[in-house]
């Protein structure tokens, strides 16, 4: 089986781990390449059968499966490449639409809440006059403010003093930034669960604790991950959230609130260095196994 991992950087921990596990895999043996999506030229020649992807001067070989690991900074181009693979009939895990919908934090929250999954009260805003109303409608200060495309805790801020509002607002205005104003979940602050979902299963979970003086518990912000048995309600919620977004591989961030589990976001390209270290589980091998299973099912259904 031939697998392409779409990533800009072969040296990332997760890419190296995936390559190592793919190399070990048997039944089927997997030939795995890492392709930089930015080097892909997408060709539509106007005929249904003439579509393709060119890298350098060469057309790409036929792949059975593609695993997009696309960073937030190249979402648009990256998604165009993933879509092209879909057009060519290649099995893609995760799909274009699911990645696009989870990457935009507001779109993700809309889909979750439409599916009846609890999320923190949130308002998308950019208007001058609406800022205060937005803060009031999620319960007043303190609130969390988020940019739509942030990751690893970047672009997630805590607003807790009225005096800072005017300056923050002024800055947003001049940058023409849309932001989400969100209820600060005080009772669970500084802690959240990261559930790693593959297929219909939570395969690993960790509790992340923010360092002293920080409310964001991201590992990249110095948060510490420890192995936990995810409470049943959280497990169910993580699986439902993944399914609602149409993802097969996802990292779901959940917080404990008075009303039960709330989903903060669903990541379509979750890193797994932190969770492998915290849990001792081999996530890379589980991802490769899932892809091989998908490939088998697909081949079976085509026969
Ligand atoms: N509404 C909230 N209340 C309290 N803490 C929050 C809230 N939203 C986010 N956080 C904290 O900030 C972290 C980052 O937020 P998240 O929405 O997951 O963005 P990112 O994509 O940057 O990880 C979360 O893991 C959590 O610890
Ligand atoms: Mg997060």
Which domains, and CATH codes, for the chain?
2-92 (3.40.50.20), 101-117+187-271 (3.30.470.20), 122-184 (3.30.1490.20)
Q: Is the CB of 256 under 6 A from ligand 1?
A: no
Do the Cβ atoms of 267 and 229 come closer than 8 Å?
A: no
Q: Is the CB of 63 under 6 A from ligand 1?
A: no
**Assigned token pair, 26:** 């048997």
Which has more confidence, 71 or 245?
245
Report the chain's mean pLDDT, rounded to a whole number.
Answer: 94
- The label of the residue with tokens 């993580």 reads 238
Is residue 302 over pLDDT 80? no
pLDDT at 207 (0 to 100): 98
Is 257 buried (19+), middle (13-18) or exposed (0-12) by CB count in 10 A?
middle
pLDDT at 170 (0 to 100): 84
The predicted model gives 272-293 an average pLDDT of 97
Best CA proximity match to 275, nearest among 188, 190, 193:
193
Do the Cβ atoms of 108 and 245 come closer than 8 Å?
A: yes
Give the largest CA-CA distance in the chain: 66
In tens, the pLDDT along 202-215 reads 999 999 999 999 99
> Which ligand ends up closest to the CA of 255?
1
189 Cα: distance to centroid of ligand 1 (angstroms)? 9
In tens, the pLDDT along 119-168 reads 999 999 987 678 889 999 999 999 999 998 889 999 999 999 988 888 88
**How far apart (Å, rounded) are the C-alpha atoms in residues 74 and 48?**
27
40 Cα: distance to centroid of ligand 2 (angstroms)? 29
250 Cα: distance to centroid of ligand 2 (angstroms)? 11
Is residue 3 over pLDDT 80? yes
Closest Cα to atom 5 of ligand 1: 189
Which has more confidence, 148 or 18?
18
- The label of the residue with tokens 């299963």 reads 201
pLDDT at 1 (0 to 100): 96
pLDDT at 171 (0 to 100): 85
**How far apart (Å, rounded) are the C-alpha atoms in residues 58 and 61?**
9
The predicted model gives 86-103 an average pLDDT of 95
pLDDT at 48 (0 to 100): 64
**Would you place residue 69 in the very low, low, confident or very high pLDDT band (cuts 50, 70, 90)?**
very high
Q: Is the CB of 150 under 6 A from ligand 1?
A: yes
106 Cα: distance to centroid of ligand 2 (angstroms)? 13
In tens, the pLDDT along 43-68 reads 998 876 668 999 999 999 999 999 99
Question: Which own/partner pairs from 136-143 qualify as long-range (CB within 8 Å, at least 24 positions apart)?
Answer: 138/181, 138/182, 138/183, 139/183, 142/184, 142/186, 143/181, 143/182, 143/183, 143/184
Probe residue for ligand 1, chosen from 215, 216, 268, 269 as the CB with the greatest number of ligand atoms within 8 Å:
216
Number of the ligand 1 atom closest to the C-alpha atom of 267: 21
**For residue 196, what are the CA distances in angstroms to 103, 114, 116, 129, 257?**
16, 22, 21, 40, 20
């Amino acid at each position: 089986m031939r697998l392409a991992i779409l990533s800009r950087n072969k040296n990332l921990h997760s890419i190296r781990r995936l390559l190592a596990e793919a190399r070990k895999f048997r039944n089927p043996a997997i030939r795995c390449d890492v392709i930089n999506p930015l080097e892909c030229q997408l060709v539509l020649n106007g005929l249904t059968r003439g579509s393709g992807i060119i890298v350098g001067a060469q057309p790409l070989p036929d792949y059975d499966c593609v695993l997009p690991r696309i960073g937030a900074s190249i979402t648009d181009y990256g998604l165009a490449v993933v879509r092209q693979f879909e057009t060519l009939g290649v099995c893609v895990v995760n799909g274009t639409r699911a990645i696009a919908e989870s990457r935009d934090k507001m779109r993700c929250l809309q889909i979750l809440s439409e599916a009846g999954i609890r999320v923190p009260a949130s308002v998308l805003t950019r208007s001058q006059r609406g800022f205060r109303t937005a803060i009031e409608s999620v319960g007043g200060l303190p609130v969390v403010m988020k940019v739509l495309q942030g990751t690893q805790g970047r672009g997630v801020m805590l607003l807790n003093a009225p005096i800072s509002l005017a300056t923050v607002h002024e800055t947003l205005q001049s940058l023409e930034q849309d932001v989400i104003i969100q209820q600060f979940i005080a009772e669970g602050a500084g802690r959240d669960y990261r559930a790693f979902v593959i297929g219909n299963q939570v395969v690993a979970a960790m509790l992340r604790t923010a360092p002293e003086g920080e409310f964001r518990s991201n590992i990249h912000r110095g948060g510490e991950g420890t192995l936990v048995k995810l409470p049943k309600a959280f497990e169910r919620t993580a699986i439902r959230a993944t399914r609602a977004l149409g993802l097969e591989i996802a990292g779901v961030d959940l917080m404990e609130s008075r009303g039960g589990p709330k989903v903060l976001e669903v990541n379509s390209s979750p890193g797994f260095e932190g969770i492998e270290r915290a849990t001792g589980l081999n996530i890379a091998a589980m991802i490769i196994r899932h892809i091989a299973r998908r490939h088998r099912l697909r081949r079976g259904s085509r026969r």
